[in-house]
Amino acid sequence: MPRRRGKSPDPGPDAGRLFDPGPSRPPRRRVGRVERALDTEIRAETAIPAGARALLRAAAAFVDVAEGATDVDAGAKAVRAYLELRQACGLTGTMREALDPFAAFIAGMSGPRVGNAPDS
């Protein structure tokens, strides 16, 4: 800050202002990619109530925050909760359990095979 030329002392940062802008607002939160995609998807949906929309947006924001913090554990939990909410609102199909390759292999071996006649 440039020095004042007069004989009065420098008022400093705590001096009164000529114009008071009022209470300061917190900075606006940036909308993340998941929340933006959700907003685009549900914009035309009229069957989803306002409360469910707000809950979905909050969950999408949690996913964005966890993604931005690069916290893998929190991100996995947030994504799981977000997908469950999407399923409850009818935005996604049913979620299935993860495929166990060994269980699929055993199930394939125990089933009937084409070309093998059953022993009588």
86-99 pLDDT, tens per residue?
988 888 766 566 66
Mean pLDDT calculated for residue range 67-83 = 88
Summary mean pLDDT of the chain? 77
Mean pLDDT calculated for residue range 64-77 = 87
| Top-confidence range, 53-62, 66-75, 98-107 | 53-62
Distance CA 10, CA 104 (A): 80
CB distance 68 to 32 below 8 Å: yes
CB distance 58 to 78 below 8 Å: no
Q: Is the pLDDT of residue 2 over 60?
A: no
- Residues in the chain, overall count: 120
Residue 75, token pair as written in the block: 């991100």
Q: Where are the domains of the chain?
A: 50-93
CB distance 31 to 57 below 8 Å: no
DSSP E strand boundaries for the chain: none
Q: In degrees, to the nearest 5, what angle opens at C-alpha 40 toward C-alphas 37 and 89?
A: 85
Q: What is the CA radius of gyration of the chain?
A: 29
pTM: 0.56
37-68 pLDDT, tens per residue?
999 888 887 888 889 999 999 999 999 998 88
